[in-house]
Structure 1
Amino acid sequence: MTPACPTITLADFQQAIASRDVQFHLSAPRYARRKILAAAPDHCPLCRSPFDRTTPRSFSAPVIATCVHTFLGGPLTVDNLFVCCRRCQQSRASTDLLTLPDLPAHLADQRLAVLQLSQNHPASLPKSATLTEVRQALAQRHAMPRSRVYAAQPDDGSCLLGVSRRYGDRESKGLAHLLARLGGTPLHRDKRLTVYALTDTDFRRVVWQLIDANAWVIGIGRRTELRDFQDHWWVSSASVSELRARKVGGVLVPLPVSAAREVGASALRMRRLAERRRAAREQEDVEREYREASAAYVSWMATRRSPTAFPIDPEDEMAIVARYGTACRRWAEAQA
């Protein structure tokens, strides 16, 4: 859980990143490794070179790799594993598969499927959004290479963004540097980390630009009092259902102002049903009024033709004729 912080110094921010910017060795279960290696083809899918299974420590030996690196939020499951040669694994490191040239289609599809199961931030969708719509919104983010960014938004409004050089690809890190530089000013730069200082207003805009650019934003510190949807940038989950319900780890994420005004498919169906029912009731009212006005008009005409009938007040006669004329006009309009 990202801690709340009233204020944060550059030294505290760097120290917090240092403890998180370390790649821990994670190994897939043995049964999963055996299953993936047994189903591996005879050549590397990245460089198309044949595997050398006789020398396990050679650069051409098959090894287990991840489609989405665990450092970038990828899960350690069978769906996230594939086999490539040791040379490609070492040269790729933690970079996104999307940055590799001539990426096979099956690996691109596997990457997109795994990213749906990886850590993701909430999407700006109404509460009525379906799981399919949430997945489509996430897929738009995943069309770009994934990066990792560190962020802190203290209560005093002096926000920080950190872009590490240790892991990731140049394209995604370059975009993160560009967005942070456009919204803030460089505060610290060394061989491993660049820190940018931003105001609270610029931070709220830039951090969601980074999220929409498929950045996984690691929260170092957040505000004590969360004001709206934009202050929940640090929330992430590997469950699409949690993101759709907007309740992640017990934290209830409010709807964005723009999304709250949207109408979902179910609401539109209910509106169309209500409109059809209202139109049916109006049609019944028009037909009932036409029948009653016609009956009154026929009765009045019969009275006028009968010499023994009691005379009717002229004002009542005008009312009967006017009612009949109005009923005929409304009935004709309803039939058109």
Structure 2
Amino acid sequence: MEKDTKVYIAGHNGMVGSAIWRTLEAKGYTNLIGASSSELDLRNQLAVQDFFSTEKPKVIIDAAAKVGGILANNNFPYEFLMENMLIQNNLINTSLQLGIEKFIFLGSSCIYPKFAPQPLREDYLLTDSLEPTNEWYAIAKITGVKACQAIRKQFNKDYVSLMPTNLYGINDNFDLNTSHVLPAMMRKFHEAKLNNHSPVTLWGSGTPMREFLFVDDMAAAVVFALENKLPEYLYNVGTGEDLTIKELAETIQKIIGHQGKIIWDSTKPDGTPRKLMDISKMHELGWKHKVNLENGIQKTYNWFLQNEGKYKEVKI
């Protein structure tokens, strides 16, 4: 891959997209393009076609999606299904129509069945039912994976799907109505610390196990896929290590310095009991994560402290 190859990063202002942009710039790539949602509505097929025809990118990285936690997925199932399908289908189909040879599609570990054996292997896809609290998002992402697989099979183009585990890091979303578990916890513990170390109430029992990957490591995996032709259509990306939600909470609490009580609200759903990724395929190809969880949480908290002002308007 030449360093002046024009690379379009869909979702370049988001946590994942901005990390990919930073990583590519650091590696010397000089022809990166992006467009904010106000400049380009990815749900609009004609707008996407016009943008691609004008800009003529050579590589597409799809890091754009409507995302959220259990609460958001439960409350807005249609939007999570339809908007994600519109975004990815417009990007994938336009890329095929314009002859773009390389497309990297980013999904989520929620594409795998709720009770699939652990760790989750790529060939478990579509072998059983999904987790009900986020099946709408998962179904959308599965259609993206299968579309890229079909193009790969029928047209022999280098369209590959990367399925990350739970991501966190710089530019994360800390809005308590739409954020994922790690940034939501971080904000709750931080604000409780400022409020005389008041108690923090967290959803569920704390027993489910989760795996977390620092977003810069995910970006490195995307660059790895960019610079190499991966032999298969689907790859998991993660650390291969997990911990309980309770252990996660205690780790975040320690790093932030909150000394109050943690209350677990067992009336709220836990979600999938365990989601650990089998990442042996990526390891065999030569990619491996570098940032451990504590260091990643510390880096994220440092960024949060520098950007705390934008979250002060919402009270817990």
TM-score (norm 1): 0.24
Instruction: Kindly indicate whether structure 1 or structure 2 has the higher relative contact order, using CA contacts under 8 Å at least 6 residues apart.
Output: 2
Which of these two proteins has the greater Rg computed from alpha carbons? Answer: 1
TM-score (norm 2): 0.25
